[in-house]
Structure 1
Amino acid sequence: MNPPKSLKRTPQRLLPTLTTALIAALVSTTYMISYGSLIFSGELTPYLASGIGFCLMGVVLIASIEALLSGSPGLVAIPTVNSAVIIASMAAAIASQLDGQSETIFPTVTAAITIATLLTGAAFLGLGWFRLGNLIRYIPYPVIGGFLAGTGWLVVRGALKTMTDIPLSVANIDQYLQAEVLLHWLPGVLFGILVLMLVRRYKHYLISPLMILGAILVFFLLLWLSGSSIQQAIQSGWLFQPFPPGALWQPPPLGDLAAVDWSTIASQAGQIATLILISSITLLLYANGVEVSAGIEIDLNRELRACGTGNLAAGFSASPPGYTIVTMSVLSNKLGARSRLVGLLVAGLCGAVMLFGGNWVALMPKVVLGGVLVYLGLTFLVEWLYDGWRKLPRTDYAIVVAILLVMGSYGLLPGLGVGVAIAAALFVVRYSHVPVVRHTLSGNTLHSRVERPSTHFQILHQEGQGLMALTLQGYLFFGTANQVFEQVRAELLSRQEHPPWLVLLDFRQVSGIDTSAALSFLRLKRLLSRQKILLAFTNLNPKIEQILKTDVLTSADRDAWRVFNDLDHGVEWFEDRVLHGEGGERLAIQAQPGMIQDGQERGGLALIFVALSEQLELADDTETAALMDMMSYLKRMEFEKGQALIRQGEQGDALYFLDAGELVVELSTDGGQSIRLARSGPGTVIGELSMFLNTPASATVIAELPVIAYRLSGENMRRLERENALAASALHRYLLKRVAQRLLMALDTVEALAE
């Protein structure tokens, strides 16, 4: 069996892989020691060695599983500072609740970390499995910024506690200003600021590891120059107490489960929910950051599944949750180390430190670890407070600051609550400003699919202002539905000279409405009723129609509203009412094949001949004779209801002049469905395109009512052109005018939609 391509190494490609892995392992080890000291501080300090071991084991599991399962070789995933600071907050709360119960604190904290990481992994896996990763994108950007800025402050505050062993609060701020305490934390803060400035200025991958190594060397150089011993540095709080012999990570004894206080863990449900939310958000942001910086495509859902699997494994080692790290992943791509071997080597090197480097880890200066944490925390604060001032609108910036202040003053849960409340308020306010009226059209720019004689089109154009059609979109609640009411009222005021008698609302692109939206439509119905204007609804799905039936679509005022299946049928109904009022009703007489009714036979044909005569410049009997002579080329045909005149796919060799009845044009899809394309009444022509283009018919034409039609075959058309040039010219010009008229109507509609 051949190894995967990404694991095949050549000497030229092995060097950048090893370089990337060594740098990432050094930085990861430093981060994990920092996270361990952040989480296991205060009353949990005696368990610091185990805490660092938990974090290092997290690197081993998360980095190796990410390397094997990720869709993008070269990505590096480790436990993150965002997770660590929330875990630290949860651990501190548990330690406070169990104050004095030394035998219970460590097992309970360990169990809480395990549960939190397992649930985070399960959430990642679920989002990725059901391909729901994009749901995270719907969280408002300033709310995300507020969470991350608040996380950054909590990291900085934790860094100060790591360096001084004194929790930062308003009450003990004076202690931080004492010379001895100041000496412990100020160098670390300055170191963190310096690293941040250099990284932002030069953006070189060696800055962080070299600064960390340099700071460690400077610390021990100063310790040597001062004549102090390691033991004195430990007693003065510069170094940690020596760790127990053996590996840093030890599996928790099963017997410790009996000492776990499960009720205390349950009280941290809010913290765990916050951890899952912020971890999901940050994973998305980090993945996007890698895509932009490294110029690669990342399958977010696959990344969620890979990180979810890694966290499920890491949960059993009591590691904080982890996911892809931008800096390390971008580094591997920039150095040409796009290999799964990078993550595996990082896991192996951190595993070696975990197993054999306990004595060396204990010598890590607190001031350096605190400085690293300050750097990480300031990264978020500077991005959202300093950079955000230039990039964000002032309203969004104020939201970031508000969430930061709440998280800094009251903790994670209140910050989460404020963030959720602001997100909900932002959604309501901003969505209410999203236009729900997509288009406002009149009968001059919106036409049905009914083919009509040109004289009817002229009437409809004259009376087009009688229709006001609004196409709606999105989800309608009280705020957005009120937009519809206000826009209709404004349109009525602007159309006082030519007021509409029908207002038509199309719901085809409306995803849903709530009951408050129905009140706005009730107000609209009453407004229109007072002005004798009819209200019509189209494309109502059953759920929306059911909501409207309560107050709007009531039987008591049935004459005030109409409902149509779709927009086309609604516009068709409007056109029919207009033509009915203009004497067009005589053309609606149903044909009865074999019988001639008064005013019916040759009625539609007469309209066509009137239009044909308009194409001729003659004004004497020659004109009449030429057109009447054309009758000899036509064949009178009768069709029963449901009978097809033209079938889709068959060769077109004739056109039909519709004299009486109605035709419907339908398109058959590959799925077996029939879509209505048009309806044709008396005085129209069918089949000209396929006959002139000599192509198969693109749709089927069926008699919707009994039909009388006159057929002009292709052969007779050619005879007409040879024998009666005057009539043939009139017919060609008439058909060309019909095509031009359709094009102009379509352009009117397109222009109206563009506006």
Structure 2
Amino acid sequence: MGLLIGILAIIFAISFSAIVFSGPLARFLPQGIGIALFSATVLNTLIGLGSSYRGMIGPPQDMTAAILALAAAQFAAVPALTVAGAPLFETAVVMLAVAALSTGVVLMALGRFRLGLLVRFIPYPVVGGFLAATGWLLIKGATGFMTDMPVQLRTLAKLGEASTLVAWVPGALLGIAMLVASRRVKHAATLPVVLVLGGVVFYAVAALAGYSAEALQARGLLIGPLPPAGMWQPLTPDVLGRADWGAIGAAWPLLASTVALAVVGVLLNATGIEFATHREVDLDRELCAAGLANVAVSAGGGLIGFQGLGLTVLAERLGRPSRAVPLVVALLSAVALFAGAGVLSFVPRMIVGGVTIFIGLDFLANWLVESRRRLPVSEYAIVLLIFAVAAGVGFLEGVAVGLFAGLVLFVLSYSRADIVRHRLTRATFRSNVDRPQADEQRLIDRGSEIEILVLEGYIFFGTAHRLIADIEARTAAEPRTVRFLVLDLRLVSGMDSSAVHAFAKLRRLAEQRGFTILLSEPPPAALAQFRRDAGGDEIGMPVLPDLDHAVEWCERRLLEEDPDWRDAPMEQLADCLGREVGDTAMALRIARYFEPLSLGDGGIVMEGGSHGRDLYFLESGRLAVSDPDGGTRSRRLRSILAGNVVGEIGLYLGLPRTATVVAQGACGLQRLSEAAFETMQIEEPAAAGALHKFVLRRAVLRLAHANRHLLALSR
């Protein structure tokens, strides 16, 4: 298994070096092959040992080689590098070292600080267009390598000449054959078999035509002759000193895009390996392993490399993964580097070019053809746009246009998203304040005057504009029934400055149309933005700690408009029982089993978790029902006003108290003890039955309110 993977890795490495060392650098191809084999040795050793997946293959990569080839091709336009004796090779090698070192440092930093998941935020169609453009570059580079001339508009005519067709058509056919075979025959040996058959056919046709190996080399159909030694040398101070650092600096946009592509490539390949092998992969560890390997490769001016999806999955299919596999690949690469020049000299250029064309065609087929079925039209259009601009104008221009188009698409798509999670009114969502029945009926009659919008997500200019348009439409209807609009911001993750200004516009709209806007539970950062925009702590809108208190604030304002409403209601137990039971005498018989209880502010009626079966009726004052969270704060469950009961769960079920109830100010209560309740059931069974109905009715009303809440929030 390791032998087969090693042979394929060597062929791929040579193919990628041929892409970089083409055109003006073609005469340095032997050294380029040495650099590729050195890179394969180091990458497979360090990635194989450092990866979280046993058996991870770490070859030099095609996608980064294509961009590095563009950077190297720019050196042909530098006059100082085109004269005889110019340090063209030294500049190219140092450029490769800078790219590998930069990539390694960035990968290690991302892995060290566990930032691998951030790269997943790159838009999927942008990555697709990027890879499609890379596929085009690979095909161009492979064709230029096989013909010894750049593929440009001015050279297209020469590609059709008979002498040139012989050079590139066999490689193109081999690449197409590999693509078709890999899609038709799902077997690990498919590609090796096609490559061997391609080599056999090449030498068979050459033999029939009467060409010897020397003649094939003379015609440029083999990658040799290669020198028996010296294909690779480590970077030395002399090489660093001779390099044209100005030319390297001018290529920084391409080098930066190479680093970005390498980061994306590591995470995409690692995720793909995880999916294909059904084995967990630690993304941050993969980043660190690839980063360390690229830093080491930079010492020899090597090619960028990282986790290889195809070769790793192939090794998985051939047998049980083991760290021995990448080490065998590294060993074979080292043998080829130091002792394999004689054999490598007889590798046909069509094999090297065909492999590269196959990879380029695979990218194009995947992202220009197959992605049409799995991507929405808008996202597929971005893939086509990036490819068209990269092929017609330039690679960096294509990527820049794609990023911009992806950003515009995101803004438009997110602007269409509804940030209103729930639309409620007082009729479907009341506060947790248990009021006297008369007050509750008043609020039910005016429930449509309180509207609640529960917002979620990130609010920016697009979504804020849609929100304002929605509110304008809802408050424009006649007659205008909305008096209070509660905007619940608990689920809002943040907002930009344009959204803050949009809220100011919303406040002016409320003033014009006569309704009040309240904010409930705004995130601290958003509240700080509102205050900065207002120039002080007063932002022109009431701010409440949560939705419960915001709705209560609105309810109180509505009740204050009723001249018959009392701020501190009092409900005598006998009067309340008489209205509901319909029998004053029965009410008095029930009331005599209760005993009065007075509590001051902070007085405890019951504590959560305690045992007790007493029932309490509140005649005056206010009780707070809270759920202690073990800290210094308690979350309000309910607030109870006069005319309501508390403690019924303990009375009927005998369970520990589920909440803590304390007095807010002076309170007057009537208490029914457990003993008195049992006595009533014996002495006055009819009175006990009436009390059951009284308590049950209030419990059912609270249950009905809770059901309406759940139903409203589930829509």
Match of 1:636 in 2: 596
**Does the 8 A contact of 2:228 with 2:339 survive in 1?**
no
Residue 68 of structure 1 pairs with residue 39 of structure 2: no
Query: What corresponds to 1:724 in structure 2?
Result: 684
Query: Which segment drifts farther, 235-244 or 81-90?
Result: 235-244
Aligned to 1:516: 498
Deviations 1:619-676, CA, capped at 9 Å, x for gaps: 5xxx322221223322222222122222222223322211211222222224554222
Instruction: Tell me the distance in 2 between the aligned counterparts of 1:671 and 1:309.
Output: 46
Q: Which residue of 2 aligns with 1:570?
A: 550
- Counterpart AA for 1:604: E
Question: CA shift at 1:193, angstroms?
Answer: 0.6
Check conservation: 1:61, 1:314, Cα contact below 8 A. Answer: yes
Matched, 1:251 2:211: no
Deviation at residue 24 of structure 1 after TM alignment: 1.4
Q: Secondary structure at the match of 2:542?
A: strand
* Residue aligning to 1:270: 253
1:604 aligns with 2:564: no
**8 Å Cα contact 2:99-2:255 kept in structure 1:** yes
- 1:615 positional shift: 5.3
The aligned residue for residue 483 of structure 2 is 501
* Amino acid in structure 1 at the alignment position of 2:348: P
Distance in 1, matches of 2:157 and 2:113, equals 52
**Secondary structure of the residue that 2:126 maps to in structure 1?**
helix
Displacement, 1:145?
Answer: 0.9
> What's the counterpart of residue 527 of structure 1?
509
C-alpha distance in structure 1 between counterparts of 2:441 and 2:453, whole Å: 23
% same residue: 34
Would you say 1:485 and 2:468 are equivalent positions? yes
Displacement of 1:108 after TM fit? 1.9
Residue 14 of structure 1 is matched in structure 2 by: none
How big is each residue's C-alpha offset from its partner over 1:715-750, in whole Å with a ceiling of 9 and x where there is no partner? 222222222222322222222222322222222222
The alpha carbon displacement at 1:505 in A equals: 1.0
Cα distance in 2 for residues equivalent to 1:78 and 1:557: 59
Q: Structure 1 residue 218 and structure 2 residue 201: aligned?
A: yes
Contact kept, 8 Å, 2:597 with 2:669, in 1: the verdict is: yes
Structure 1 residue 530 displacement after superposition: 1.9
Partner of 2:62: 81
TM-score (norm 1): 0.90
Alignment partner of 1:252: what SS? Answer: coil
Deviation at 1:702, TM superposition (A): 1.9
Mapped pair 1:396 → 2:363: no
Find the residue that maps to 1:633 and give its secondary structure. Answer: coil
Distance, in Å, in 2 between the alignment partners of 1:605 and 1:109 is 95
d(CA) in 2 for partners of 1:109, 1:203: 39
Q: In 2, are the aligned partners of 1:247 and 1:356 still within 8 Å (CA)?
A: no
| Counterpart residue identity of residue 563, structure 1 | V
Q: Secondary structure at the match of 1:79?
A: coil
1:691–1:371 CA distance, 2 compared to 1 (3 A)? same
- Output the TM-score relative to the length of structure 2: 0.95
Q: In structure 2, how many angstroms separate the alpha carbons of the residues matched to 1:692 and 1:354?
A: 86
Which one-letter code corresponds to 1:532 in the other structure? G
Cα displacement string for residues 33-56 of structure 1 (whole angstroms, at most 9, x for unaligned residues): 101111111222232222222222
Letter matched to residue 271 of structure 1: L
Determine the C-alpha separation between the residues in 1 that align with 2:410 and 2:69: 32
- What's the counterpart of residue 108 of structure 2? 125
Structure 1's 571 and 233: CA in aligned 2 closer, same or farther, altered over 3 A? same
How far apart, CA to CA, are the structure 1 residues paired with 2:325 and 2:572?
82
1:613: Cα distance to partner? 4.2
Task: Name the amino acid aligned to 1:117.
Answer: A
Per the alignment, do residues 565 and 45 of structure 1 end up closer, same or farther by CA in structure 2, a change over 3 Å counting? same
Partner of 2:36: 55
Partners in 1 of 2:298 and 2:642 — Cα distance? 76
Deviation, structure 1 residue 174:
0.5
Contact 1:518–1:552 (Cα < 8 Å) also in 2: no
1:274–1:412: 8 Å Cα contact kept in structure 2? no
- Secondary structure at 1:372 match in 2: helix
- Correspondent of 1:146 among 129, 132, 154: 129
Matched residue, 1:681: 641
1:422 aligns to 2:405 (yes or no): yes
Read off the aligned partner of 1:740 and give its amino acid letter: V
Runs of 5+ consecutive residues of structure 1 not aligned to the other structure: 1-18, 590-599
Q: Give the drift of 1:107.
A: 2.0
Indicate yes or no: 2:695 matched with 1:735: yes
Query: Shift of residue 188 of structure 1?
Result: 0.9
Q: From the superposition, tell whether residues 687 and 58 of structure 1 become closer, same or farther in structure 2 (CA, over 3 Å).
A: farther
In the alignment, the residues of structure 1 paired with residue 575 and residue 124 of structure 2 have an alpha-carbon distance, to the nearest angstrom, of 65
Q: Do the aligned residues in 2 keep the contact of 1:78 with 1:325 (CA within 8 Å)?
A: yes
Q: Does 1:178 find its partner at 2:161?
A: yes
1:136-177 residue CA offsets vs partner (Å, 9 max, x unmatched): 222222111110100000000001001001101111111111
Match in the other structure for 1:540 = 522
Contact 1:467 1:503 in 2 (8 A): yes
The number of aligned residues is: 713
1:564 is matched by which residue type in structure 2?
L
Which residue of structure 1 aligns with residue 606 of structure 2?
Answer: 646
* 1:38 aligned residue (16, 19, 26): 19
Aligned CA distance change for structure 1 residues 461 and 170 (closer, same or farther; 3 Å): same
- The range that moved more, 64-73 or 478-487, is 64-73
1:76-112 Cα deviation digits (max 9, x unpaired): 2211101111111112213432322644222222122
Identify if the C-alpha distance between structure 1 residues 145 and 102 changes in structure 2 by more than 3 Å, giving closer, same or farther. farther
What's the CA shift for 1:215?
1.3
Q: Give me the whole-angstrom Cα distance separating, in 1, the residues matched to 2:36 and 2:641.
A: 79
* Residue pair 1:33, 1:361 contacting (<8 A) in 2 also: no
- 1:458 matched to 2:441? The reply is yes
Determine the C-alpha separation between the residues in 1 that align with 2:531 and 2:84. Answer: 63
In 2: Cα distance, 1:584 partner to 1:727 partner: 32
CA deviations 1:167-204 (Å, max 9, x no partner) are 01111111111111011111111110111011011121
Amino acid in the other structure paired with 1:518: V
**Distance (Å, rounded) in 2 between the aligned partners of 1:356 and 1:429:** 59
Q: 1:686 to 1:556 in 2, by over 3 A?
A: closer
User: Counterpart of 1:580 in structure 2: which amino acid?
Assistant: E
Structure 2 counterparts to residues 580-729 of structure 1, below 5 A: 580-582=560-562, 585-586=565-566, 588-589=567-568, 603-606=570-573, 609=574, 612-613=577-578, 616=581, 623-729=583-689
Match runs of 1:21-420 below 5 Å: 21-97=2-78, 98-100=81-83, 102-246=85-229, 248-420=231-403
Question: Any gaps of 5 or more consecutive residues in structure 2?
Answer: none
| Conserved 8 A contact 1:521-1:552 | no
Shift of 1:235: 1.6
Q: Secondary structure at the match of 2:572?
A: helix
1:247 and 1:557 map into 2 onto residues whose CA distance is: 75
Cα deviation, residue 502, structure 1 = 0.5
The corresponding residue for 1:13 is: none
